Structure formats: structure tokens, C-alpha cells
Amino acid sequence: MTEIIEAAQSEAIEELTPLLGRRNACAAAGIPQANWYRKHRTSPAPARPLSPRKPHPSALSPGERERIRTVLNERFADAAPATAYFTLLDEGTYLASESTMYRILREHGEVGRDRRRQATHPPKTIPELFAEAPNRVWAWDITKLRGPDRGIWYHLYTIIDIYSRYVVGWMVASRESATLAKRLIAHSAVNQKVNRNTLTLHADRGSSMTSKTVAELLIDLGVAKSHSRPKTSNDNPHIEASFKTLKYCPAFPGRFGSIEDARTFCQEFYTWYNHEHYHSGIGHHHPVDVHHGRAGTVHDRRGQVLATAQATHPQRFASGGTPTPPALPGPAWINKPKTDEPRDTPEKPIQN
């Protein structure tokens, strides 16, 4: 309906325009003249030329603004513009007002951040460690155990072989110390009869792990060292998984009454962990069997038991083949390189 009325009004204006003129015709039809022109415009309105804005006579020149920015970013890089303003004022120098200093910094995105030159560090190398046998790669770390009162902590040092998941050394101490770590590492290396230039010791970047004391010991023992990337716990997964098994153990207490209690608990736990725990990451073998080369015998014995059971009760087994136990543990990795080639066996997440 509206379109019909507008069409009739436009037709009336066209008929009256030769007689009355455009203004009077629009008035007679009841349409503002501007509306008619806007609706019947055939080309866009010409752009209004913008005249260049003249700078204010008192405005700073580009050279003066650049000088102010240079002073703020070099001499006063770690200070606020207010500090720069009053320091210069006390020295008898006036460059610009405090608000102008802020305005110049804001134009370059230099307000609200550190204007000092930032050190740039190359990305940390991803540690890639491979162990095809025991005593090739060890991982170690320190975790805290709650003491009897608030603020009292005991420190559990643990070294684990990533191939066999065997805990080769542990210690509970009242403090974190590079000297204590050195003692534990040296004792574990002697106890395991580690040959020179055959072992790599991996750890995160804690103060004890990166200490000069431990580094000198590793040189003396002929042990290579490796470190995780900063703030990357996945670079040391085996030791982290063992700590989780420890702290999620049903017998793990919320607090230990004394350091002797903590040592007694850890002694029992690591005996169970090494000799009785069926570790899913190594084919549900005991770490001690894998570490000392007995896993193959256990695997064969399991296969014989399954074959005998199938022969005795074939109806209880799915048809299509002889049941087999989980495969023997294969090479262990920390950050296995990604390749396009198909793997022999699918990787499984580290579990305890």
C-alpha cells in the first residue's frame, strides 16, 4: 500500500513540475523536496574534499617528539613518565608536559608494558632419549612429603630406570640439597655397576638438578646429563608417573609423623613397586624382572599356561588363534621423534 501511494505521489510531482516547478510540486504532493531528490538520485553525492589539518602553532615538531621518545625509552626505560618529567625538571630541562609524554608513548604502543630491551632466548631443545636396555637412561626428581605440622616437609629423592621402570635409588631427607643428590646418584651408579659412557641421567631444571656439584659428579662418573624444557613436566614422564603411583597408594598417609615414618613407608612402597607391582607400561611385568632380564622367562611361562588352558578348555577361548600374553617390553623413549613411517607397535601412554 505504501509503495502505491509513493508511486502516485511521484507521478503527480512529475506532472506538476513543468507547471509549478519542483519545489511547489513537492509541496502540493506533500513530500519534502529533499526526500524526493534523495530517492531519485542517480549518482552518489560528491565527496567533500578534506582540507589538511593545520598543526597548532604550539605543537611539537616531529623531531622534538622523536627526541622525547628516545629519552623515555633509553634513559628512563624502567621509569614512569612522571619520574622522567620531574627528574628532568630538577635538572633544569623541560621537554614536554607529563601528559604529552604519555601521549607520545601511547602512539607507539609503549604504555602499560616494559620499555626496556627484552632478552630473547632461543627455544629449548626437546630432549629425545632412547633406552633399549636397563641402565641406559635414568630419570630422577625430588617430591615433597607432608610432615607432622604445617610448614614441615620431607624431600623424597627418586631415581628410576625408564626401560625397566625399576627404582634404582631413593632417599628421604629433611631438605633439598645438591650434596645429598650427589651422594644418592653416586651410590646408585656403584650399586648398579654402571660402566662409563653408557648412562644418561635425565632430570628437570630444579636447583639441585642443575647444580655444579651434580654436574661435576656426572663428569667423574662418565654419565651424560639431560634436562627437561622449562615448565614442561611431560619431558620427565616416568618419574612423574611413579610419584603419582606413590601418592595415590591407598596406604599413603596425608601426613607423616616423622622422617623415620616417611622412610619406613617408602622402604615398603618401593619394595612392593619393584618386586610385586605389575606395571602396565612394561607388559604387566614386575620391574625387577625386566631390569634383571627375567621378563622373557616370565613371558614364556605365561604363554605355556595359556596354551595349556586352551587345550584343556577350548570352548572357553575365542576361536581364531592361541591366546598370547602381553608383548615383552620394547625400547623406551622420552619424547619419541615424530616420523611418517608406521611404527611396529602403537605407542601407549605411560601408566603405572
How much is the pLDDT for 31?
80
Distance CA 330, CA 348 (A): 12
Distance CA 278, CA 204 (A): 27
Q: 285: which DSSP letter?
A: B
Q: 279: which DSSP letter?
A: B
List CB contacts of 29: < 8 A, sequence separation 6 or more: 9, 12, 13, 16
Low-confidence ranges of the chain (pLDDT < 50): 342-352
For residue 112, is it left (φ>0), alpha (ψ between -120 and 50) or beta?
Answer: left
pTM above the 0.85 mark? no
Q: Structural domain boundaries of the chain?
A: 2-38, 62-107, 129-288, 293-330
How much is the pLDDT for 51?
76
Distance CA 134, CA 166 (A): 9
Distance CA 245, CA 270 (A): 11
Distance CA 264, CA 90 (A): 68
User: What residue ranges in the chain does DSSP mark as E strands?
Assistant: 129-131, 137-146, 153-161, 167-173, 200-203, 224-227, 332-334
Distance CA 253, CA 235 (A): 28
Q: What per-residue string of b and e applies to 216-231 under the rule 16 or more CB within 10 Å gives b?
A: ebbeebebeebbbbee
Distance CA 198, CA 15 (A): 105
Distance CA 230, CA 52 (A): 54
Inter-residue contact 130 to 137 (CB < 8 Å): yes
pLDDT tens digit string along 122-159? 777 899 999 999 999 999 999 999 999 999 999 999 99
Expressed in percent and rounded to 5, the helix, strand and coil fractions of the chain are 45, 10, 45
pLDDT tens digit string along 198-215? 999 999 999 999 999 999
- Strand ordering across the sheet containing 167-173: 167-173, 153-161, 137-146, 200-203, 224-227
Domain 129-288 has CATH 3.90.950.10: no
Q: 169: which DSSP letter?
A: E
